[in-house]
Amino acid sequence: MLSFDIMNLLPLAAEPFTCPTDRDMLPSERREFVRTHRTCVFGTTRRADGPAMSIVYYVPTDTDELLVATMRARGKALVVARDPKVSICVLDERWPFSYVQVYCDAVVDDEPDLVVDVMMAVAGRMSGEPLSEDARPFVAAMAAEEDRVVLRCRPYSTFAQPPRHLHKNDQEERITHWRSSVVPWDALDAAD
């Protein structure tokens, strides 16, 4: 069983981190990107075919967990129960698109207060403003009726992709590309 710390949910960031366009992201910038965005492609293994993927809202915590609410009977929860390795591709919702791929170890947590807290935080991310505490009983009823759980994802490494965009087709000499690499989640920025 994985060990997870007590944590606090981070509020929705007023402004998502903007990726540099002239270099690879530093490890600290990758973490900031993940902490300040809200949507991702959640990927799990499958017994056959390619990986299963779904677009979900996630909630970061002050201990760097990434939390996803789902129904216990859905594929995400069923797969995590048998294979804790997941990938989360955090999406920038602004053009030109960039992303940070996060590799995680995950567990299923069915603690009712956590489930409701995460569902309320997700509703706030969906609407852009926090849900009123008056909604808590309705969210709790929905969580119980739908048998909701939380997937607690602990990052261990990342891969980043910088944004690229052509404004017109005469930029051949100004387009840059470079390779990124997988970096440990807790890596330090290299000294200049």
Total domains, the chain? 1
**pLDDT score, position 169:** 58
Domain for residue 182, yes or no? no
Phi, psi of 30, rounded to the nearest 5 degrees: -60, -45
**pLDDT score, position 186:** 97
Domain for residue 8, yes or no? no
Domain for residue 48, yes or no? yes
Which residues in the chain come in under a pLDDT of 70? Answer: 1-5, 163-178, 192
Residue 135 belongs to domain spanning: 27-157
Residues 188-192: contacts with CB within 8 Å, 24+ apart?
A: 188/27, 189/26, 189/27, 189/28, 190/26
Give the model confidence (pLDDT) of 18-29 as tens digits.
Answer: 888 778 899 999
Residue ranges of E strands in the chain: 39-44, 52-57, 59-60, 66-71, 85-91, 99-109, 148-161, 183-184
Domain for residue 50, yes or no? yes
pTM of this prediction exceeds 0.85: yes
Contact call for residues 157 and 85 (beta carbons, < 8 A): no
CATH of residue 109 = 2.30.110.10
Tokens 């390619």 appear where? Answer: 50
What is each CA distance from 178 to 23, 31, 54, 190, in whole angstroms?
Answer: 8, 20, 28, 18
Domain for residue 2, yes or no? no
Give the model confidence (pLDDT) of 163-172 as tens digits.
Answer: 665 555 555 5
Which two structure tokens, joined as six digits, stand for 28? 């600290």
Domain for residue 118, yes or no? yes
